[in-house]
Structure 1
């Protein structure tokens, strides 16, 4: 279908094969719109997502700007969508995953960015030329991978290194504590277990300390009794 004129405010005029077709009250029943290679400019009209019976939409080779309408997923019957060679920006709407009848897609040569949606029909769009000319796009089937958790604030790469260093320092500290405890424990009790004379001297020393403490406590008690 070759289209020479276009207007969309609840009314669509299409010149096809020498006839002027006017869609007004039955606009939502339009099943094919080809407005390619014209001088259309401005943003894509959001109302175009109301054409629920649309099977083909070709707006390629124009000067359209702005984002692809977020509700484009409403075009549940669409089989062919060509928005190539415009100046569209922003991300590819996630709602497009619901276009399960879509078998032809062309979004090349725009200013789109972000991760290419996955699931449903997008699994079959493995030709990179569908998305070429959009430097900001990433993900399959493009060779440019996306960062994990895209859209969330990116943590500088240096922070990851600092976390690793902190974990390493904690591990070294724990290991040092274990080694120190083992060395101290066996340095004292291991020696006592091996040297009988030292063991007797050690327990004799403990007895003296115990007796000294008991004598001190007893003296304090006697003193307090006399004061009372």
Structure 2
């Protein structure tokens, strides 16, 4: 196989064995699909080092383990990357921002066609200028929006997607995901990702499918998600998200099932009132035994003052003999002083 230098597409599914390193000589490959095999070990670094013309790479449903190879970031032309249902671990590399083809908001299909259907000089010498012989159509199956779907080339080259679901990935979703402005489908479900959903994910204005379910994501759902008008599917279920679900745009069209499994989420989608929307009840003062004591004390003081004041002043005012005696007493005291 390594001698097939002009090989453009290879689809080898439902087999077993090893991925021959001689394939690194097939530098003109634009499609490599070796899904549903028993391939194991780390993802070969030569895929990114040597096969830099790849537009579609599917390694799904194998037993690849270890990190997502940093060498895959050399695939600047990649548009569909499917590494789902393997045993990959650790974090998502931040160098995914190097996927320049996905970073463009619109795909130059003419340029991709010319790259895929570029014919070597010996082909022209053999077959002449009749290029219709080489306009082949591929029927391939890829995981798209969480479902195995059939695609015919060149329909496939108008789509962009990354599927890393069903692995053991950890760490946070890198904010560099926001560079992939032309991405149509992103599936990171069924991993062990944690931290908050980066607000930069709102830059993916072309996104039609986003599945972050069954992880350990926390914090609030970024409001920037509501700004993606073309979002058709959004699944954030079974995480540790909290706060109010953003409203507006397509966010109001998603049912409760796409947010369930997050006990601290609230909003109209879940028909659950947020704490800040509730009218605060007036706190009840606990009954105190001291209040009864002070109430009795004040009553006794008032009664004692009334009795003492009028008990002395009353006779002086109303009994003349007492009033004269009191005045004489004051005169004597004054004279003495």
- Give the TM-score taking structure 2 as reference length: 0.40
1:79 counterpart residue number: 208
The residue that corresponds to 2:103 in the other structure is: 28
Classify 1:2/1:104 alpha carbon distance in 2 versus 1 (closer, same or farther; 3 Å).
Answer: farther
Please tell me whether residue 64 in structure 1 is matched to residue 193 in structure 2.
yes
Deviation at 1:114, TM superposition (A): 0.4
Relative distance call for 1:111 and 1:99 in structure 2 (3 A) is same
Query: Matched residues in 1 for 2:74 and 2:186: separation?
Result: 14
Q: Does 1:129 align with 2:191?
A: no
Secondary structure at 2:268 match in 1:
coil
The one of 275, 282, 293 aligned to 1:158: 282
Q: Distance in 1 between matches of 2:237 and 2:201?
A: 17
Point out where structure 2 has 5 or more consecutive residues left out of the alignment. 1-57, 76-80, 84-95, 105-158, 286-337
- State how many pairs are aligned: 151
Match of 1:11 in 2: 73
* Secondary structure class of the residue paired with 1:48: helix
Q: Give the root-mean-square deviation of aligned CA atoms.
A: 3.0
Distance change in 2, residues 1:8/1:104 (3 Å): farther
TM-score by length of 1: 0.58
Within the candidate set 109, 113, 120, 2:242 is matched to 113
More helix by share: 1
Partner of 1:211: none
* 1:26 CA drift (Å): 3.5
Unmatched 5+ stretches in structure 1: 17-21, 163-228
1:90-109 residue pairs with structure 2 within 5 A? 90-109=219-238
